[in-house]
Amino acid sequence: MAAPDTQRRRVEFAYALPGMISWTVAVSAVICGVLFPHLWLIIALGYIGYFLARMAFTLVFTIVGDVKLHRWGKRDWLAGYNDAGPHGLAPRDVHHVVVVPSYQEPSDILRRTLDALADQHMAAERLIVVLAMEEREKGHAAKAAELTAEYGSRFEHISYTVHPIGLPDEVAGKSSNEAWAARFVPEIVESLGVDPDVVTVTSCDADSVFHRRYFAALAQLFAADESRHNRFWQAPLFFYNNLWQVPAGVRLSTWFSQSVQLSELAAPRFHALPISTYTFSMRLAIGSGWWDASVIPEDWHTFLAAQFARRGDVTLVPIFLATHGDATDGATWAEAMQSRNLQLTRHAWGAEDVGWIADQLAWRRDYWKPFAIFRFFQVLHDHLIRTVSWFMLTSAWAVSSWLSQQRVPGLHFTPFGTELTFLSWGFTAGGALMMLTLIVDIVRNPPPDSYPIWRVPIELAVMWFTTPLTGWYFGCAPALTAQTKLMLGIPIGYRVTPKRLVAATANNQSRS
């Protein structure tokens, strides 16, 4: 085994690795694009081929996911609810703890979330709600007391916790708030006389609106699964609460992120990771240490910690009953755009999971298993694609455009000409795949009657021509910022995305 100092250096290198690779690609794109354009076009063509395959994957399995959403929505999730399954547990015996972290969240947003929870089957007998408040929020106690009193009769139990300010070894944010709330969950469950082995725990964002049969379906799946204590469950998350009220650039970025998530959940054997609002077994939560108070993005990290605690024997199970959330918003167009950028920077800080996995591997030789190696490269890949894609695609476009404008006689019969032809086909195919993916989402959630239909094609056209700019602002820049700060050891702060209540549209109501 390597010496402790050597191991520590390896871990520090792993935390810096995403930023180092991203900056290497960025510098290479400039230098090679100018000095070695032919070589760079060949490299870019290889990457564009991979990128097109990913886009085709997203489109195909987004459609597959839509089919599954339709089928799951029509299924009777209450059939056999009182019947014990093959492993001796009936769905009606399952209880659900729902932790709702809140910091400066408007009361009407929280009420919308609590209303959706109260509409769940047997909510008054089976749902245990914990409002996780922050001490640093002015008026948190009065808000929490008002909500718990208002909803006291609609749940099996509702209470609130208050996360203190300035605890050692903590980073302010959702994960540390939930970690504090988790201290009280076992006590609450015990006071209700409920066996922890029949309890699920859900991390619920303050703006998440569950499908009205989510917990009924969850209870069915939990009761029927012999390996229920090695599972996470995830519903597709669509930001449809207000998607047609935010700027078009925010909407474009949101369309792609939720399409990617749906496609990964729908693809067989993909090994997706949880996002934002998810559920896991209480027994698994206890065994893996609940949430980590020292990290900012908690969803992937919580799953990875559980998977390492169980030596890889933890999997994610999709529930194709959509959860609706709020897209980032603001009082003005500029504020909404900036809020989305800051939110994506916070998400990109999850690149620290690359270093965290390396840390586990450095100090525990028994963790050197195929699942750990796979997750290391999966997390590294998913964070790098946000930066590498922009530099590769933009540089290839710039170099090919420059060469095409040189008007060199017989250019298309030279080696350059072959690459230019393939690049032209690649960009055309990429544009088509992008538009088809957007259309699938628009069909799933068409604009409300109050939204002028003529604006949609105009916005799509504008977004198409400004893709390099929006791709930078909502993709590459946030990721590069987070990875660079992580590489240099500069922390980032946690900032809550501003929200405004938007009444549910007819489209959304029909899906709830």
- Going by the DSSP 8-state scheme, the letter that residue 209 receives in this structure is B
Domains of the chain and CATH, by start: 4-65+366-493 (no CATH), 92-327 (3.90.550.10)
Q: Say what the pLDDT of residue 103 is.
A: 93
* Average confidence (pLDDT) per 10 residues, the chain, 512 residues: 51 86 96 88 91 96 97 95 87 97 93 97 97 94 95 96 92 93 96 97 96 97 95 97 92 93 95 95 96 91 94 95 94 92 92 91 80 94 95 90 62 57 84 91 92 90 87 94 92 66 47 40
- Judging by DSSP bridges, how do beta strands 231-234 and 315-318 pair with one another? parallel
Cα–Cα dist 337/340, whole Å: 5
Cα–Cα dist 130/125, whole Å: 15
Other CB atoms closer than 10 Å to residue 115's CB: what's the count? Answer: 12
What's the count of helices (H) and strands (E) in the chain, helices before strands?
A: 19, 9
Cα–Cα dist 221/413, whole Å: 60
Residue 489, by phi and psi: left (phi above 0), alpha (psi -120 to 50) or beta? Answer: left
Q: Say what the pLDDT of residue 212 is.
A: 96
Tokens for 333, please give them. Answer: 């167009």
Cα–Cα dist 239/477, whole Å: 22
CA 97-320-81 angle, 5° bins: 60
CA 426-340-103 angle, 5° bins: 150
Residues 6+ apart with CB under 8 A from 509: none
pTM: 0.90
- Going by the DSSP 8-state scheme, the letter that residue 233 receives in this structure is E
Nearest residue to 358 (alpha-carbon basis) of 341, 375, 346: 375
Nearest residue to 272 (alpha-carbon basis) of 295, 303, 302: 303
Give percent helix, percent strand, percent coil of the chain, each to the nearest 5. Answer: 60, 10, 30
Q: Is 163 helix (H, G, I), strand (E, B) or coil?
A: strand
Task: Identify whether the C-beta of residue 421 lies closer than 8 Å to the C-beta of residue 412.
Answer: yes
Cα–Cα dist 48/422, whole Å: 10
Order of all β-strands in the sheet with 199-203: 157-163, 127-134, 95-101, 199-203, 278-281, 231-234, 315-318
